[in-house]
Amino acid sequence: MFDSTEAPIGKDRNFPQIDWTQVTWQQELKHNISTVEQISQYLVLSEKEKANLNKIIEMHPMNIPRYYLSLIDRNDPEDPIRKLCIPEDDELIVAGAMGQTTKDPYGDDKHDKGNGVLHKYSYTALVVATEYCAMYCRHCFRKRMVGLPNEQTVKNFQGAAEYIANHPEISNVVISGGDPFLLPTDVLRKMLDSLKNIDHLKFVRIGSRAPVVFPMRFFEDELIDILAEFNECKSLFVPTHFNHPKEMTATATKAIQRLRNAGITLNNQAVFLRGINDDVDTLVALMHGLLEMGVSPYYLYQCMPVERVRHHFQVPLKEGVDIVDTARQQMDGYAKRFKFIIGHDIGKLEICGQYDNKLILKQLHSRPGHEEETSRILLRELTEKGGWLDDLPEVASF
């Protein structure tokens, strides 16, 4: 396993070592870091950094568990854990050399059916169950809504279940957010119970980064029992979100094991991020580390052109394809099964590779009314800074 030792919180400030498997998750949430004053107790920040951080928090709330903070190497200014959780001056950039940004790159708003239901693909319904997460990640593509009151979350899950029941074309549901596992356990039970008797519903996914940033949630026996019980009725999948090998700690591994022991299938959806995992060695360690934990590498997403995210995290596609292809050469068969993906407004596009200076993509999913686009091949001309489909000129043929 990749060396990802969990350091004691504030080791040099006389904080005690914490056994994260023994804490009560509801109580631990109350210790989350959300203000500049709190973060200053853990990290040395300049007055300029504090001032900018206050500006950022006014637009995008900060929320970091102590567990995740404990993984930061405070002697390394380029530490990937720090970059993933602590906002920086880059959050103030809304335009720049990488190209246009948007608040809704995935086109969620166009497919909003109300009461938290997003129905973009005929066979899949996504339910935004909450706007709250254990941690507000800097690269989040729903940055415009996570942690903020909004109209795209569930007010009555029974109403969402009725929508699903009334649409027999829906074969699977993704419960998303925010992070559904941060809901009270009894609320999660009611949500899952409302889906049990929908015959055309074949499986359910609960998308979560909690196994990565807040693994103590999964040491609650009642939660595991509920998930195991539902999994006997309908197949349950938990897509995780590990982005870097340093996140694969002993505690996270134990949380994953508890989910696996409940019979749940785990797949990982990472995001390709500049300064985090945009190098061959890190990608190889990430994918091999996932398999060692018992999690299948599933997707590697190209970072979306989100406001206050794109210009510090998105890797140009011309550079990214080379990195991913070179990393795959060092991976075994199971590790390299993941798909390099653009989650575009028109549908999911697999980045298959490049030929000369042309990017080859294959469309995997399409919107209702555009079924003929599924499985089509798209060609684009690679440019030095183009990081998104819309940045690249169309090419008629090879």
Q: Are 194 and 159 in contact (CB under 8 A)?
A: no
What average pLDDT does the segment 267-276 reach?
98
Q: Of residues 219 and 369, which shows the higher confidence score?
A: 219
Domains detected in the chain: 11-92 (no CATH), 108-391 (3.20.20.70)
What average pLDDT does the segment 391-398 reach?
89
> Cα(273)–Cα(390) distance, rounded to whole angstroms?
19
5-39 as b/e: b if 16+ CB within 10 A: ebeebbeeeeeeebebeebebeebbeebbeebeeb
Q: For residue range 368-378, list pLDDT tens digits in order.
A: 778 888 899 99
pLDDT on residue 28 = 96
What average pLDDT does the segment 289-293 reach?
98
What average pLDDT does the segment 288-296 reach?
98
Beta bridge partners of 296: 267
- Class of residue 135 by CB neighbours under 10 A (exposed 0-12, middle 13-18, buried 19+): buried
Share of the chain above pLDDT 70, in %: 88
Q: Are 129 and 157 in contact (CB under 8 A)?
A: yes
What average pLDDT does the segment 167-176 reach?
96
Q: Of residues 181 and 43, which shows the higher confidence score?
A: 181
What mean pLDDT value characterizes the chain?
88
DSSP H or E run through 53: helix 47-59
pLDDT over 60 at 10, yes or no: no
Q: For residue range 31-48, list pLDDT tens digits in order.
A: 999 999 999 988 888 898
pLDDT on residue 9 = 41
What band does 366 get if pLDDT is binned at 50, 70 and 90? confident
Q: How far is CA 316 from CA 222, 243, 359, in A?
A: 44, 18, 12
Supply the pTM of this predicted model: 0.91
What average pLDDT does the segment 117-144 reach?
87
CB atoms closer than 10 angstroms to residue 351: 22
Closest by CA to 93, choosing from 275, 307, 387, 272, is 307
Length of the chain: 398
Q: Tell me which DSSP letter residue 102 carries.
A: B
Q: Of residues 8 and 52, which shows the higher confidence score?
A: 52
What band does 110 get if pLDDT is binned at 50, 70 and 90? low
What average pLDDT does the segment 73-99 reach?
82
DSSP H or E run through 256: helix 250-261
What average pLDDT does the segment 223-227 reach?
98
Q: Of residues 100 and 182, which shows the higher confidence score?
A: 182
> Cα(39)–Cα(9) distance, rounded to whole angstroms?
12
Closest by CA to 73, choosing from 131, 130, 4, is 4
pLDDT over 90 at 104, yes or no: no
What average pLDDT does the segment 286-297 reach?
98
CB atoms closer than 10 angstroms to residue 332: 11
Q: For residue range 16-27, list pLDDT tens digits in order.
A: 588 999 999 999
pLDDT on residue 95 = 65
What average pLDDT does the segment 284-294 reach?
98
Residues 6 or more apart whose Cβ sits within 8 Å of residue 130: 153, 154, 177, 178, 179, 180, 182, 183
Closest by CA to 70, choosing from 19, 1, 143, is 19
> Looking up tokens 């080379």, which residue turns up?
322
